[in-house]
């Protein structure tokens, strides 16, 4: 008989449908050197493939030891057949029970050790992404940004890591706080909508609250934001400052492929333009970096934005191959300095 025939006979025996002759055949197979143990080991290896190897060997060793103990308790040949059959049935039942119990142990062990793999949303320059999280929260990820979450997004809390900029619309859940972590800040919310910006190359990190309430924590301070409020964290000084904003929508226009600048330095504006248009822009004059601009160029070309900036400041630019060079217009600088006196 093939091994599959013995297994079918084994199932038939458990259903109490096997004849006396079939039971004898089954007993001989169980008694045969290594046959039953080999089969049990094959089944075990298939069932426990995801288990820690050391634990797997230890538990299966205990099962084989138990089988050996049952073998040693079997009565000699002179004992009556019903008694021997009962003992063999007990052996089978014991093995099944052990496998079931160990199977449950494997399950709970695997569940307790299971680590949710990190889910990473990486957005290239010039691109954007829209993500729905496992809890139903929605996230819009800006260009040149990276959002990740894994085992910490669970039944107790919802923690994500952000490098760059993203806008969040959080599904309310009072029992599971929603936390966005950057290198500098942790923004904690229960159910709200807010924008977080923290690019490595920029000197400030910021959070703007649209609805609800959030708590922003740094290594040095903790502030609570109400709607229409913004926090700016200075990475160099560690100082965090809160202010009121007139229109929070200006801070998330990037969702709609439009640009808005609120008193931003040219240095920060250039970082934004590089990410938005996936290009390289260099300053030939360092003094240009400190100039500021407020306005909404909207969804337009890079050259149009550069023209707008050159009309409001002593800036001139040159397109050289795939790079844009910004330099200071000396004549215009004298005019602006005179006008500002």
b/e map 4-20, b = 16+ CB within 10 Å: eebeebbeebeeeebee
Helix (H) or strand (E) holding 120: strand 119-123
**pLDDT at site 48:** 46
User: Is 180 within 8 Å of 168 (Cβ atoms)?
Assistant: yes
d(CA 333, CA 337): 6
Residues in the chain, overall count: 341
Evaluate whether 299 touches 257 at the Cβ level (below 8 Å): yes
Residue ranges of the chain with per-residue pLDDT less than 50: 33, 47-51, 55, 70, 74-76, 78, 97, 100-114, 340-341
Contact by Cβ (8 Å): 210, 245: no
Interior/surface letters 40-54, b for 16+ CB within 10 angstroms, e for the rest:
beeebeeebeebeee
pLDDT tens by residue, 7-33: 666 666 556 676 777 767 766 666 564
CA distance 162 to 147: 5
Residues 6+ apart with CB under 8 A from 144: 123, 124, 125, 164, 199, 274, 275
What domains sit in the chain, N to C, each tagged with a CATH number? Answer: 3-113 (no CATH), 116-246 (2.60.120.1440), 258-341 (3.55.50.30)
Tell me phi and psi for residue 59, to 5 degrees: -70, -40
- The model scores a pTM over 0.85: no
Cα gap 244→230, rounded to integer Å? 6
Burial 237-256, CB ≥16 within 10 A → b, else e: eeebeeeeeeebebbbbbbe
The 3-state DSSP composition of the chain as helix, strand, coil percent (nearest 5) reads 40, 30, 30
| 167 closest CA partner among 201, 203, 206, 204 | 206
Confidence (pLDDT) at 190? 79
What is the pLDDT at residue 300?
Answer: 84
What does the pLDDT read at residue 65?
57
206: which 2 tokens? 């910021």
Nearest Cα neighbor of 218 from 197, 239, 244 is 239
Model confidence pLDDT, tens digit, residues 113-153? 445 567 899 999 999 999 999 999 999 999 999 999 988 89
Per-residue confidence (pLDDT) for residue 118, from 0 to 100: 78
- Residue 111 is predicted with a pLDDT of 45
């Amino acid at each position: 008989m093939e091994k599959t025939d013995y297994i079918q006979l084994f199932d038939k025996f458990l259903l109490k449908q096997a004849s006396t002759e079939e039971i004898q055949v089954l007993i001989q197979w169980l008694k045969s050197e290594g046959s039953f143990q080999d089969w049990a080991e094959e089944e075990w290896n298939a069932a426990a493939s995801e288990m820690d190897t050391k634990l797997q060997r230890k538990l299966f060793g205990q099962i084989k030891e138990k089988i050996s103990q049952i073998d040693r308790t079997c009565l000699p040949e002179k004992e009556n057949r019903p008694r021997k059959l009962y003992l063999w049935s007990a052996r089978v039942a014991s093995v099944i029970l052990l496998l079931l119990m160990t199977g449950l142990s494997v399950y709970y062990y695997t569940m307790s050790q299971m680590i949710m793999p990190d889910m990473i949303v990486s957005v290239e320059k010039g691109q954007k992404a829209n993500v729905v999280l496992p809890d139903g929260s929605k996230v819009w990820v800006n260009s040149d940004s990276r959002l990740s979450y894994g085992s910490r997004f669970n039944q107790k809390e919802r923690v994500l890591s952000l490098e760059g900029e993203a806008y969040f619309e959080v599904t309310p859940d009072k029992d599971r706080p929603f936390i966005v972590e950057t290198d500098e800040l942790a923004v904690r919310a229960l159910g709200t909508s807010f924008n977080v910006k923290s690019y490595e190359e920029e000197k400030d990190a910021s959070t703007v609250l649209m609805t609800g309430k959030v708590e922003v924590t740094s290594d040095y301070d903790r502030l609570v934001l109400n709607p229409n409020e913004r926090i700016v964290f200075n990475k160099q000084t560690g100082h965090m400052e809160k202010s009121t904003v007139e229109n929070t929508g200006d801070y998330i226009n990037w969702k709609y492929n439009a640009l808005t600048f609120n008193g931003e330095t040219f240095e920060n504006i250039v970082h934004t333009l590089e990410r938005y248009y996936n290009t390289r822009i260099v300053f030939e004059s360092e003094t240009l970096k400190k100039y500021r601009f407020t306005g909404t160029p909207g969804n337009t070309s890079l050259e149009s934005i550069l023209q707008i900036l050159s009309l409001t400041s002593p800036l001139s630019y040159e397109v050289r191959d795939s790079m844009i060079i910004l330099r200071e217009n000396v004549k215009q600088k004298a005019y602006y300095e005179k006008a500002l006196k």
